[in-house]
Structure 1
Amino acid sequence: MSEKSTVVIIEDEQAIAENLIHVLEMDGYHPAWFATAGEGLAYLRANDIALLVLDVGLPDGNGFELCKTIREFSDVPIIFLTARNDEIDRVVGLEIGADDYVTKPFSPREMLARIKLRIKSRAVVSAEKPQPRPDSVQADVLVAQQFDYCVNEQMLGLTAVEYKILDRLVSVSANILSREQLMIAADMAPEAVYERNIDSHIKAIRNKLKPFGLSDRICTKRGFGYFYSVKGE
């Protein structure tokens, strides 16, 4: 089974899971269904997958907390599935590292379209990401580690979205990226966020770099976007 075509579903309602399994299989994906957070987490720790559909309300845990745990070791795209439609729930879900948010009841084919979009977006970002130059790696003090960045072996404690934004900026050091490009790099659903949300994430990243005297590494080009500056280049 190819990891690129495996979609994990963590959902305790069998009817919902079966509908998703049907459309996924019809489109050539290999769904793996788990009814509990514990079973799903065990599978995710042992396997690389294309995407995760995660229910917020599970019999043995909370989907938000499970998402936080998953983000400690994986940047797999996550789509939350929930019966709750409150704005605060959507914001919390996206802030802790989810890539999309779908409320019940939903169209299985719409969900399939969202799944394909998230998988495609991740593939495009991965393909475009250049290899870092050896000299820039030596010039910088930031080190990527376990889906976070560290300075002098101290982790910054970035969220999944913050990590993806900083990682993209660092990978194209000195090149200006627009808010839209950073939204794509962070796998943020355009219909679920505003471009100005990027500014909030940039501010949070700068605050986490500030104790190390590195907040000025994230530079703003007014009217264009942001870029990462490595001193000494």
Structure 2
Amino acid sequence: MTLDANIPAAARILCVEDDREIAALLTELLREHGFAPRFVSSAAAMNDLLQREQVDLIMLDVMLPDEDGMSICRRLRQISTVPIIMVTAKGEDIDRILGLELGADDYVVKPFNPRELVARIRALLRRSQLHPALIAARQAPMTFEGWRIEPATRTLFDPDRVKITLTSAEFDILLAFCRNAGRVLSREQLIELAHGGQAGPVERSIDVHISRIRQKIEPGAKSWTLIKTVRLGGYVFTPRVETIDDAR
């Protein structure tokens, strides 16, 4: 087993899954790859566990006995930025897109390839952790249109200095835009810049994340001006971005 230096030792993975057979298989898989799995079979049990301890990532089944995974995802996103992978037997585009729109960072369909699942978990954990070498070189906050984004703490503040909640994927994409302001970026380039080449379920999940970012940085806008769509090209971040050296 090869450990990734960018992933915390024994990363705690909370699996919300009511199928005992799948839970047993995931337990063995996650432990084999150096993770520390926690398993619960209902939303109520998940709520209790999250009150007692912190987790690094949540794998969330859509079909649960007391509350559906979509509702849980929406609720979690109101209070937390913990990475979420939706795990479901539903493979239709509408289900996947809905999960991403509600704040999931990734979406895996059963039956899944074990190696692919582990790769997705590692990629998401890497994106959600602070990388010391990267922070040392690129930790300076940036501002645009009164907004302030802080790579070191992975936080975003609006012009009134109110902290805005972003998912891990949303933050990575917005940060990539800020570091490449004025440059037309294709979906493939955004995946590479924001995700290190580790795409979500499909390339067009980028569109879902960008839609959510737009709604957060231009609430109530009738047309988007900060992130513009370039026909046959991708997207361009239009505002002037300035790097600031002083601490907030």
Aligned counterpart, 1:216: 225
Aligned counterpart, 2:147: 142
Q: Is the 8 A contact 1:74 1:147 kept in 2?
A: no
C-alpha distance in 1, partners of 2:207/2:116?
30
C-alpha distance in 2, partners of 1:53/1:97?
13
Deviates more, 1:152-161 or 1:61-70: 152-161
Q: Is the 8 A contact 1:11 1:33 kept in 2?
A: yes
Measured at CA, do residues 149 and 126 of structure 1 come closer, stay the same or move farther in structure 2, by a change above 3 Å?
Answer: farther
Q: Is the 8 A contact 1:41 1:70 kept in 2?
A: no
Give the alignment partner of residue 108 of structure 2, picking from 102, 115, 140: 102
Whether 1:69 and 2:79 are equivalent positions in the alignment is no
Question: Which structure is higher in helix share?
Answer: 1
Unaligned runs of 5+ in 1: none
1:58-137 to structure 2, matched below 5 A, reads 58-123=64-129, 128=134, 130-133=138-141, 136-137=142-143
Q: What letter matches 2:146 in structure 1?
A: V
Q: Is the 8 A contact 2:227 2:237 kept in 1?
A: yes
Aligned counterpart, 2:246: none
C-alpha distance in 2, partners of 1:224/1:104?
31
Deviates more, 1:74-83 or 1:151-160: 151-160
C-alpha distance in 2, partners of 1:214/1:128?
34
Measured at CA, do residues 39 and 187 of structure 1 come closer, stay the same or move farther in structure 2, by a change above 3 Å?
Answer: farther
Q: What letter matches 1:183 in structure 2?
A: I
Measured at CA, do residues 51 and 181 of structure 1 come closer, stay the same or move farther in structure 2, by a change above 3 Å?
Answer: farther
- Give TM-score, length-normalised by structure 1: 0.72
Measured at CA, do residues 215 and 186 of structure 1 come closer, stay the same or move farther in structure 2, by a change above 3 Å?
Answer: farther
Whether 1:14 and 2:20 are equivalent positions in the alignment is yes
Aligned counterpart, 1:194: 203
Measured at CA, do residues 213 and 186 of structure 1 come closer, stay the same or move farther in structure 2, by a change above 3 Å?
Answer: farther
- TM-fit CA distance, 1:152: 3.3
Deviates more, 1:2-11 or 1:77-86: 2-11
Aligned counterpart, 1:31: 37
Unaligned runs of 5+ in 2: 1-7, 244-248
Secondary structure (helix, strand or coil) at the match of 1:192 reads: coil
Q: Is the 8 A contact 2:127 2:168 kept in 1?
A: no
C-alpha distance in 2, partners of 1:58/1:9?
12
User: How many equivalent residue pairs?
Assistant: 227
Give the alignment partner of residue 174 of structure 1, picking from 154, 159, 181: 181
- TM-fit CA distance, 1:36: 1.0
Q: Is the 8 A contact 2:181 2:236 kept in 1?
A: no
Measured at CA, do residues 205 and 7 of structure 1 come closer, stay the same or move farther in structure 2, by a change above 3 Å?
Answer: closer
- Give the aligned CA root-mean-square deviation in angstroms: 4.1
Secondary structure (helix, strand or coil) at the match of 1:7 reads: strand
Measured at CA, do residues 29 and 59 of structure 1 come closer, stay the same or move farther in structure 2, by a change above 3 Å?
Answer: same
- Give TM-score, length-normalised by structure 2: 0.68
Measured at CA, do residues 41 and 78 of structure 1 come closer, stay the same or move farther in structure 2, by a change above 3 Å?
Answer: same
C-alpha distance in 1, partners of 2:229/2:131?
22
Between the aligned residues of both structures, percent identity stands at 32
C-alpha distance in 1, partners of 2:91/2:140?
41
Aligned counterpart, 1:165: 173
C-alpha distance in 2, partners of 1:206/1:82?
28
Deviates more, 1:103-112 or 1:222-231: 222-231
Q: Is the 8 A contact 2:81 2:165 kept in 1?
A: no
Measured at CA, do residues 125 and 97 of structure 1 come closer, stay the same or move farther in structure 2, by a change above 3 Å?
Answer: farther
Q: What letter matches 2:160 in structure 1?
A: N
Whether 1:52 and 2:86 are equivalent positions in the alignment is no
C-alpha distance in 1, partners of 2:139/2:145?
15
C-alpha distance in 1, partners of 2:66/2:160?
38
